[in-house]
Structure 1
Amino acid sequence: MDRYLSVAGHTISHTEIVRLFVIASLTLSCIFITSISLTKHVETIYSQLFYFPILYATYFYPRRGLFLAGFCAVVYEVLAYMYVFPDTAGLIYTTGQAILFICIAAVVAYFTEKVNTSETRYRSIFETSLLGIVLFDQNSFAIRMANSHFSAMTGYRPEELAGMNFSLFFHAQKEQRRFFEYLGSSEDVVNFETQFLKKSQDPFWVNLSWSRIDANLVSCSVIDINQRKLAEQAADENLQQYQQVTDHAPTSIVVVNGGKISYTNPTFRSFTGYDAEELAGKDFRDLIHPDDRDAFPALPESPDAGTPLPGLTEVQFRTKTGETRLGTLFFTWIHQKGSPALLINLVDITEYERLKESVETESIRRRGIISTAVHELHSPLQPITGYLSMLTQNPEKYGVTEETKAILDRVAKSIDHERQVIDQMLELSVLEAEKIPIEYSSVPVPELLRSIIESGGYGAQAEIAIEVPPDLVIDADQGKIATVIGSMLSNAVNYSKPPRKIRIAYISSAQDTMHRLAIRDNGIGITNTQLDEIFRTQNPADLAGNGKKSGRIGLSLSIAKRYVQLHGGFISVDSVVNVGSTFTIHIPKQRPAEGGVP
């Protein structure tokens, strides 16, 4: 969780401090480089390098970014005026470039504000949904967000839910283990019925459906089906007692006897727009939208007919007013007045599906913005690097002192780091779009390890012991596995304490279904808090500001994790602070079926 500081009566987070520092550093660097270039009469001055701080600031602070664009425009105009005057063409050109700073910042600010407004609107839908919706971390199970319906359902206040372990809601440990097994299968799950505990420790039945928003975040919808369960248990009792339960159910309930509707609760009548008299005796199929009617399975008239009940089914309905609504159906046999009848529970998911589609569309749009921004941010780095190289390679020619040259060398290193961050951001944006194919081949692991150690120069930096069978071959994408091992090995070397000792061991047995390659170091270790963060993608300000203080947190580990997941595997971490860490790469011995990997 971010920490905050109080400065002159204003509260500011550490993240914002880092962002402002990066913006200020980039702005001053651009002014400094432009000043030197103009002073030394460099033939071509690239005004585009100012877009780097302007776009960065506008992305996080749209309105402040406009002020920064104006400031950069004035500074650039003043600097250029001093060296271009009285060249009229030059003055017009520089003025146009300065105006362009402000125009581009205004466009970026406009679209950023629109995205923020859309997020606010979708959050409103999220909060007012009739479904309980929870977003939790797949690794730590910590709840990131929960809507008011889930809060009311469980009896917890919203502030109490934030950060709670989602798995602790399960009433029985057996159900909790079953949940872990389903979640670990990396597949989306629907119709997972179990019992939750309220804050009062009272158990109640729920129906869970979840899907992954990204590699770390899981969206779970929670439907309170306690009343439906009570209705099933009370099905052998008289209809009056049954109606007292179903009339107040938040989900729609329909009883079909002999293919005709014999009972509907108020929620279903509100869903369709028909009253009880209009629905009584009506064929249930007549309520289904014509587009789905032919595909809807025929409903059996008794459990003895031999026709199995349909599973969880999503169906479009046409209401009395002609509106199309979407519902999820559950089917159960009951007895009504001594004869078998079909109990149908209907959950209105119309708004949920609209919200889901909107969120997916917005997610794709945001990934596009990130990808475009990464490409655009790459462009100004090339001229900056060129100028720095020119100044540092010929210091005498341009009058660069040793002190200035040392500063420029540090700037060059920082720019190279920024280029790596940008490249990794682009790689992640492609990975999130699921456009990376896996090209399987037979990979000789000992040869691959020797190649990685030699190309990275790790053998000269640490004592590396390899305990891998000499004939070990795995079925994997060699390039991606090399990237994963290289990332793990680089971290092990960089964060080990002298004398650096690294051990690479193959720890799978013949009976295991996974190849397991463990990389152990004698480094600084990782705290329990950091273990929740090391594979999470951070924003560029966090990465640039944290540096080594963040331990192993960074984009490279996020990429490594995603590559292993594309193989159907995972990465586990064991660590003791000030003793060392062991990263274990788990790759299936049998390649997963096509389409089985997220």
Structure 2
Amino acid sequence: MARKPTYEELEKTVKELERRQDKQTEKEASYGQDLFRRKLSEEALSESEAKYLQLFNTVPAAIMLYDAETKKMIDGNDAAFDLYGYSREEFLNLTYWDITAEPGKTKKTIPRVLSGEVKRIPLRYQKKKDGTVIPVEASVGLFMLNNRKVICGVSTDISKYRQAQKDLEKTNQELRDEIQDREQAENLLRESEEKYRLLVENANDAIFIAQDDAVKFPNPKGEEMTGYSADELAKMPFINLIHPDDRDMVLDRHRRRLSGEKLPSIYEFRIINKAGEKLWVELNTVVINWEERPASLNILRDITQQKKLEAQLHQIRKMEAIGTLAGGIAHEFNNALTGVIGNIQLLEMSFPDNKTVTGHTKAMKVSSQRMVNLTSQLLAYARGGRYQAKTVSLSDFVEDTLPIIKSNIDPSIRLETDLPRDVFSVKADPAQMQMVLSAVVSNSTEAIEGDGRIRITASNKEIDAAFAKSHPELNPGHYVCLSIVDDGKGMDEETVNKIFDPFYTTKFMGRGLEMAAVYGIIRNHDGWITVDSELNKGTIIRIYLPAIEAEEGVKKEAIVESATEMPKGEGTILIIEDEEMVMNVIRAALEWLGYRMLEAKTGKEAIEFAKTFDGDIDLALLDIKLPDIWGDKLYPQIMEARPGLKVIVCSGYSIDGPAQTILDAGAQDFIQKPFTVETLSVKLKNVLESD
């Protein structure tokens, strides 16, 4: 029979059981705590994931995760699905190669992404589900997920900004860099407040806030444009910057806008900087809250240079319009003068020994010649005065011309020249250029009271693209510059702007058509003329003519006296002329010279003669402007009806234009109205006797 345990043994056994029970309880408690902690961790993780998913799907930029090795998509946000046009299921079945439009560039970029060298790609082209290619700005990063390398890409569609950039490039080449900087800055502005600050500080436009009639928070460009520091601007009313003539308008608009009235946000006005310079600016303004009170955010652009270019363009168009009118007037004058001069000569030819008649006709010819000179100036202003362009050395031309005009220069005025021998040659009409030099030197002479100096220099100039930008009338290239500098009275800005207007005059500048003709002649030679002047400091006139490199030295032509005896001839001449007085003079002259005539007053009559006249027509005198057709359109029809017909073009306009077109098409010669019977007889004989 087993021995009963003693009390001590029982007590020891109970304690051992209690110890074991306590240890099991601790284990269970610890396990319970572990379960509790895990439960809390899982709940926290679930909450974190929920926040991540919410953030992930609400970010407006397209975010995608793809395997760094296989390039297979792992995940993407709603913005990515919307951007590329895929559903979530479709997107997760793609690889990165399915959305890139530049696989070659991408292959080169990915190793740099994996190495950490590239984290931002400013421009990459990607494609949507429908095949549309879009430009994006991308940020990329590499991280580990479930023991594999994953690339996170964030893409922002910049299609709108790229299109805006292209549109702006078309309208203003000069602002291209600025627009690009601004576009990039606007992207940075959306990313963070710090980048916005950098944009403001580095903008090429002045940016500031106007509040309480003062300028606050001006950026560096605003300080540069106004010449005032930020502290100075804060202490002065901003209206002090505005040109006095524009102050009421600017202040009125500012206050009305702050009161809530809707007004155009962009307008132009003038400011005066600290140095006293007037600048044209374009203001783009919007009402904002600044420090919990109404204010305006203002972007100020300096458009002074643009205004100057607009003024130049306006001046050019005005001159061209007046030039067209002047050309028409000159044409009518020349037609009338053809009748006057022709009848004077016919009168002299009818009474060669009558001294009374020749005495009167001599005075009439002098007056007529003055009118001829006037119409020559009108044609020159109308850009129709380059009659006989030749290759000339500008230095030689000035040297040869100065003795002719020196007699009109006061002896108290010193004439200096600097005419290098290495100056390029130009293609110019010496007679017209003599008119230019004479007019400019004459005006310089009149501007000088008492002792003075006129300096004439010639030099080669290289017009580069930068200079041509601000002078749209010039193309880049080689030019010869003729400068005439005087130390006379000078002119104010208003006078300079009007100096080339016909008949504009002051006490000493721009008589009649002289300077207007100068402008027309230079423009007709594909050149440009500039005037810089200041009251009481003198004037500088610069004439730019395109340079040519002559293969041979410029030869001076000897002046040949014309024959005094008019050559007569024979044959049938078709006169195509609508002006009855001109027709009468030509008819009488041709009869006297021994020719037979056919007369056509319209293009239709001329074509009919060419087709139906039963006999030879040896030559046609073709006027440019007829009631039913222009001469350059009539010429090919006549030649089709009667091949081999010789033609002399006759016009009150210059040789440039339709007349030159007819000559280029095959006509033999050109005669400028008004012409003399001698000139007509020589032209007819030379053309008829030519092969």
The normalised TM-score by structure 2 is 0.27
TM value normalised by structure 1:
0.31
Larger C-alpha radius of gyration, 1 or 2?
2
Q: Which has the higher contact order (CA 8 A, sep 6+)?
A: 1
